[in-house]
Chain A
Amino acid sequence: MFDYHHFPVIAVMILFLGAFLVEIFGSKNKTVRNTIALVIAAVSAACIYALIKPVFFDGEVISYWMGNWEPVSGYAIGIGYEVDALNLFFALLTVTTFLLSGIYSVRYMEKDEHLGHYYTLYLMLSGGVLGLVLTGDIFNMFVMIEIMTFAAVALTAFRNRSFGALEGAFKYLVLGSVGSSMTLAGVALLYMSCHTLNMAQLSSILGSQPLNPTTVFAFALMFAGLAVKAFIVPFHTPAADAYMVAPTSVSMMFSGMVNKAGVYGMIRLCFTIFHAMDQSSLQILLAAFGCVTMFVGVTMALAQHDFKRLLAFHSISQIGYVITAVALGTAVGLSGGLFHAMNHTLFKGLLFLTAGAVLKATGTTNLDKLGGLSKKMPKTTICFLIGAFSISGLPPFNGFASKWMVYQAVYAKAVTTGNFFYAVVTIVAVVVSVMTLASFIKVTQACFFGQCPENLKDTKEVPLSMRIPMWILSVLCLVTGIFYNFVYEKLLYPAMVAALNTVKYIDSMMGAGYAGAAGVANHLVDAPRFSVWDPISWLLLFVICLVAVCLVIVLGDRERGKVSDPETKPADGKYATFFSGEHELHSHVAGSDLFWGFKKDFKGYFNVVQGAHDGNVNTYASWVVIATAVIAIFMVIFVK
């Protein structure tokens, strides 16, 4: 009945239209407001879901020229939207995230004032991200980045009476604005050398000749600008603050779609526009950034005492995995990266929602003040455990499948190139996964198990409409982990091929044969389908190991079980790592400091990293400037 070629534009436009409708009609009556916001979000999501069949299953690339301004004699003159499987993959993550976040917000935000503005900004943020993901024009992309950033800043400051909200928003605004200015400068430089703003035409011009210093510099600026949006270390500082202080439904949107939009931009930039991912120098640069991001993210997370800030640093760390995998420039790496991006949206969304449930039920996210919530909030606890297992990479949850693909891809890269650097990256990736598990054991212990403090005795489970999004995400975590082959066949493989098949991208936008006439060819050949990883056998191995450990404990010295009772027996040196060698009376394994011994051993490192995050906006801005300068110098010298 409807022509689906219009759906991408309708999906974006209706969100912006809805933002105004909410402001006009919804400022008084809350039922009208919630209905408008949710219906608009659902219609937008339906438009995107309707594109799955033509784009993923039939392999079509949808191109749409605004106002029907089609290219004239091979020159793009209008703004174009282009949807291939890569765009649509990220668009699906986006719509799923904002739909679930919207359902969750209804009850989560009910006590706040000025909710009309909240839903306006919510729809603006959704529209900005969706527009960024679907557009085929780099200046339109810049405008969408700006809408996204400033809606995000305003939402960060929404609860402006709570701790740190204004401060987090201001830092986000300053760094985001510097990043946007760099993107704009990059766009201007590209326009200067190519005289077009259309991505497909830029790709065809830049692919037909070697890159010159001007275009490489433009590449570096846009790369750094998008890195600020993807929150890669050292551009990550606003993320840690903003995720912590924003309302939790918004934190979920940040980690589920805002940083994914940055990742999408980087993939599109490196693969499609600049054809540069076959160069080993760029691969090493990206992999180095990814590696540092995962390591710094997870070590900072280990040191946190706030539930949401801890999740924020994990979010940064997981983006490191995605970047590392994408950096390899191989088909396995790209599919692993996309898979991990999708899984990160699912499990980190779930974890943020459980953190929001804890905040709503108890009024705090400070891990030192929480404890024993598993008896009060059993359903939330189960959801949290599913999310924690997924992010730590335990089979059969989805985190295992994607992390396994990432390890495999990095290892294969180390073997094929013989480069020692990738061997180090492989080791770091595995170590980071272990530390992720460690820090989630800490959260589980400090928040859901252990002793329940007196003031939390009458905590109640959160309402049903907040639990529904959590259950949906939990089920998705499990389903994508078990049926990974189906996900790979239907979603990841088309998206990966779309990222590598630049010629098709150019031809569907500019007319058949355009890329061939300009002399553009696909540098990266798409690899055959593969299936070599099997989480079920690993699950069996883990079960066998667990049974073996349990047997040893049961058959061994009975004294073991009694050590954790500090009232009857002082902790001896053997367990000093957990008890910090002290006789603690109220310790449920030292609350949020479970890994005290580990932190003490690496005190030098932790002091330096924590000291570097000094909260000063000047320091953070100078990291951005220095990192951009390093990227620019590196690229101008090494990227050809």
Chain B
Amino acid sequence: MIIVNYCVSIILICLGLYAVTMKKDLIKVVIGLGIIDYGVNLFIVSVGFNDGGTAPIFTISELLNGAASSYFVDPVPQALTLTSIVIGACVDAMALSLVVMINRKYHSINADDVRRIRG
């Protein structure tokens, strides 16, 4: 099961890299950045997943009864993913706002036009 997750995350990352390197439209470049991020997030969540595991939340009585040693999913990657999602959303917002301002100034969002600094 989990193999599918890994394959999809690799496909997502490759698609994102394709968009960033090949697409001339700056909005599509930003979308590519987002897709890379989603691929990485899916990968991290999959790392911590155990098939058939429970949530890693226990009450005191469960701990005393020894239920804490039961089979549960790793909570750390989920915390990492949450952080990463928040950061990714901020990146997209900032990148899009830059694209809006570039459009105002250059009257174009084509990567071939937005290259006044070169050489």
- Residue numbers of A with Cβ under 8 A of B are 139, 143, 146, 150, 153-154, 157, 160, 163-164, 166-170, 173-174, 177-178, 180-181, 184-185, 187-188, 191-192, 197, 240-241, 244-245, 303, 309, 610-611, 613-618, 621-622, 625
Contacts and interface: CB of A to CB of B under 8 A. Distances in A.
Contacts of A170: 26, 95, 98-99, 102, 114
B101 to A, nearest CB: 5
Nearest to A139: B80
A177 B94 CA distance: 11
A143 B33 contact: no
Contacts of B51: none
A178 B30 CA distance: 11
B118 A613 contact: yes
Contact of B118 (A181, A187, A614, A625): A614
Band of interface residues on B: 35 or more
Best-buried of B33, B90, B111 by chain A (most CB within 10 Å): B111
Given A166-B105, A173-B91, A613 B36 contact: no
Given A146-B87, A625-B21, A163 B118 contact: no
Given A160-B101, A185-B40, A241-B117, A618 B24 contact: yes
Contacts of B99: 170
B115 A616 contact: yes
Nearest to A241: B117
Given A166-B105, A170-B102, A173-B94, A614 B115 contact: yes
Interface string B76-111: 110010011001001100110011011001100001
Contacts of B105: 166
Contact of A181 (B37, B80, B94, B116): B37
A615 B116 contact: yes
Contacts of A185: 13, 40, 43
Best-buried of A174, A187, A241 by chain B (most CB within 10 Å): A174
B11 interface: no
A394 B33 CA distance: 45
A240 B118 CA distance: 9
Best-buried of B87, B99, B118 by chain A (most CB within 10 Å): B118
B85 to A, nearest CB: 11
B47 A192 contact: yes
Best-buried of B29, B47, B94, B98 by chain A (most CB within 10 Å): B98
Given A188-B80, A614-B115, 20 more contacts: A150-B91, A173-B91, A173-B94, A173-B95, A173-B98, A177-B37, A178-B17, A178-B36, A181-B13, A181-B40, A184-B44, A184-B84, A188-B44, A191-B47, A245-B117, A303-B119, A610-B119, A616-B115, A622-B21, A625-B21
Nearest to B90: A150
Interface string B8-52: 000001000100111110100110010011001001100100000
10 contacts: A166-B101, A167-B115, A167-B117, A170-B95, A173-B98, A188-B77, A614-B118, A615-B115, A617-B114, A625-B20
B98 A157 contact: yes
A160 B106 CA distance: 12
Interface of B: 13, 17, 20-24, 26, 29-30, 33, 36-37, 40, 43-44, 47, 76-77, 80, 83-84, 87, 90-91, 94-95, 98-99, 101-102, 105-106, 111-112, 114-119
Contacts of B83: 139, 143
Contact of B102 (A167, A184, A241, A610): A167
A177 B90 CA distance: 11
A244 B44 CA distance: 37
A617 B91 contact: no
Best-buried of A146, A173, A185, A188 by chain B (most CB within 10 Å): A188
Contacts of B76: 191, 197
Given A164-B117, A191-B76, A625 B26 contact: no
A168 B40 CA distance: 26
B112 A188 contact: no
Contacts of A613: 118-119
Best-buried of B17, B43, B99 by chain A (most CB within 10 Å): B17
A174 B95 contact: yes
A621 B20 contact: yes
Given A174-B33, A618-B22, A167 B94 contact: no
A192 B44 CA distance: 9
Contacts of A615: 114-119
A169 B99 CA distance: 10
A576 B118 CA distance: 29
B117 A177 contact: no
B72 to A, nearest CB: 14
Nearest to B114: A167
A192 B26 CA distance: 34
A188 B47 CA distance: 7
A125 to B, nearest CB: 14
In the A-B complex, the 8 residue pairs with the closest CB atoms: A615-B115, A615-B118, A622-B21, A188-B44, A164-B117, A610-B119, A192-B47, A621-B20
Contacts of A622: 21
Contacts of A143: 83, 87
